[in-house]
Structure 1
Amino acid sequence: MTYHRLVSGPANYRKEFAGSRMKTVLCAAAFSLVFAGSNFGIGTASAQDATYSAEEVSQHFKQLKTRSLKPTGQTRALCIGTRDECNPNGAKQEGGQVAVTSQDPDANAGDNQTAETLVVDPDTKAIDEGFNLLVSFEYASARLSTEAKVNLREFAKGIADPELASAVFVIEGHTDGIGSLNYNQRLSEDRAQAVSEFLVSLGVGRDRLKTVGYGKTRPAVADINDPSNRRVESKLVFE
């Protein structure tokens, strides 16, 4: 019996020690996994940082609003129509709708500068200097990606600026040239609506948003099938 106690005692101790050591190893491993998980989460968040800031959004539209409120004169002209209609002599090889040359809107009338032309869409009354929302969608759908939602949260914060409280925005959907005219028209409308609905869910007043889809009729670049033509833009409604 004594011999058994002498042998079993150390054996049990070894088992106990081994079990304790295993628990320690498992706890350490669990801690490592939690810590690694935390770092992984941070990395994921960083990968999904907004492409632009709320401040950039508000500055863009506040400057545009200031320019739109200036009285029409020698340093600013007002053109109701598309960019191409307002700039018929523009270089078509630049692709898409040709931008009208803009000069300093605060320039004195005596300065030898080309007058700034503010282009306003005849249908939506939107000033044709859009802010690209840089939203991405799942293939051939109007489902917003996670990255798109991150950007739109910044956009919603930006237009919440008190100086833009009364501003109304047009959300435009555009596609590339792949697919039929009707298909792309419907897709662009659905995507613009998806963006609008998400912004409303973030607290943006529905009465501040208008949506329109242009399908593949208003490409940003000459190659109609270029992916950069797949976009959603927001434009300030002319007051």
Structure 2
Amino acid sequence: MRLWTITPLVLALASFSLDAKAQNTSEPAYTADELVNFMVEQVDLGSARALCIGTKSECAASQPKPKGFDMRLTFDLDSSTLRPEAKANLEVVAAALKDARLRVAKFKVEGHTDARGSDDYNMSLSVARARSVADFLVSRNVDRSRIVAEGFGEGAPLTADPLDPDNRRVELSLSVE
């Protein structure tokens, strides 16, 4: 059985000086190299090995918590269409994912919605948002086998207000074997 390490790499434009809303520009505030370096620092991509004796939860608790690289991709109401600033950021993400240092990494693309709409509609929309991001990355020659798109509907709001537009987003998680 293979054990995967899931590192939330909440690619979500807000920390690491990446707030695209504040910049009000379609220019990314970071480079592909900065993104790769950040990811390489957060997880073991095969250069080191460690053994933990204990239960899965005990071993997980002993691991340091990864730092978030917040680069949230947000969407308009009732839309799975990528905004221009999201496309600009995803160009950089695509370049980073093709870097040789990340060759063993896989990524989970997680779509979310606010609480407007029915549960079924929101689940469908969140899947469409995740697929929109995954398809964009694949169109930039990122191997589809390294990307899993999944929708969560309104089930994991980012803010206390379930109707907050910030809940309409896609996040990425980094996985390594």
1:134 aligned residue: 72
What amino acid is aligned across from residue 41 of structure 2 in structure 1?
Q
Instruction: Output one character per residue of 1:37-72: Cα deviation in whole Å (capped at 9) or x when no partner.
Output: xxxxxxxxx932014332332133212322895433
Identity of aligned residues (%): 36
Equivalent of 2:114, from 147, 153, 176?
Answer: 176
1:189 aligns with 2:121: no
Provide the aligned length of Structure 1 versus Structure 2.
Answer: 149
1:155 aligns with 2:93: yes
The alpha-carbon deviation at position 146 of structure 1 amounts to 1.4
Partners of 1:231 and 1:237 in 2: CA distance: 20
Secondary structure, counterpart of 2:59 in structure 1: strand
Instruction: Check the 8 A contact 2:111/2:150 in 1, yes or no.
Output: yes
Partners of 2:154 and 2:53 in 1: CA distance: 35
Secondary structure, counterpart of 1:55 in structure 2: helix
Instruction: Check the 8 A contact 1:131/1:234 in 2, yes or no.
Output: no
User: With CA pairs under 8 Å and 6+ residues apart, which has the higher RCO, 1 or 2?
Assistant: 2
- Cα distance change, pair 183–131 in 1 and its aligned pair in 2 (3 A): farther
Which structure 2 residues correspond to residues 109-124 of structure 1 after superposition, within 5 A?
A: 115-116=62-63
1:77 aligns with 2:77: no
Instruction: Check the 8 A contact 1:133/1:232 in 2, yes or no.
Output: no
Larger Rg: 1
Specify which structure has the higher proportion of helix.
Answer: 1
1:60 aligned residue: 38
1:41 aligned residue: none
1:202 aligns with 2:140: yes
What residue ranges of structure 1 are gaps of 5+ in the alignment?
1-45, 80-114, 119-127
Instruction: Check the 8 A contact 2:104/2:176 in 1, yes or no.
Output: no
1:35 aligned residue: none
Runs of 4+ in 1 over 6 A off after TM superposition: none
Secondary structure, counterpart of 1:163 in structure 2: helix
The alpha-carbon deviation at position 143 of structure 1 amounts to 1.4
What amino acid is aligned across from residue 90 of structure 2 in structure 1?
L
- Cα distance change, pair 176–139 in 1 and its aligned pair in 2 (3 A): closer
- Cα distance change, pair 201–139 in 1 and its aligned pair in 2 (3 A): same
What amino acid is aligned across from residue 196 of structure 1 in structure 2?
A
> What is the TM-score normalised by the length of structure 1?
0.54
The alpha-carbon deviation at position 212 of structure 1 amounts to 0.4
Instruction: Check the 8 A contact 2:75/2:169 in 1, yes or no.
Output: no
The alpha-carbon deviation at position 198 of structure 1 amounts to 0.7
The alpha-carbon deviation at position 137 of structure 1 amounts to 3.3
CA root-mean-square deviation: 2.8
What amino acid is aligned across from residue 59 of structure 1 in structure 2?
N
Instruction: Check the 8 A contact 1:130/1:236 in 2, yes or no.
Output: no
> What is the TM-score normalised by the length of structure 2?
0.71
What residue ranges of structure 2 are gaps of 5+ in the alignment?
1-23
Bigger Cα displacement from structure 2, 53-62 vs 163-172:
53-62
Partners of 1:191 and 1:228 in 2: CA distance: 14
- Cα distance change, pair 49–190 in 1 and its aligned pair in 2 (3 A): same
1:234 aligns with 2:134: no
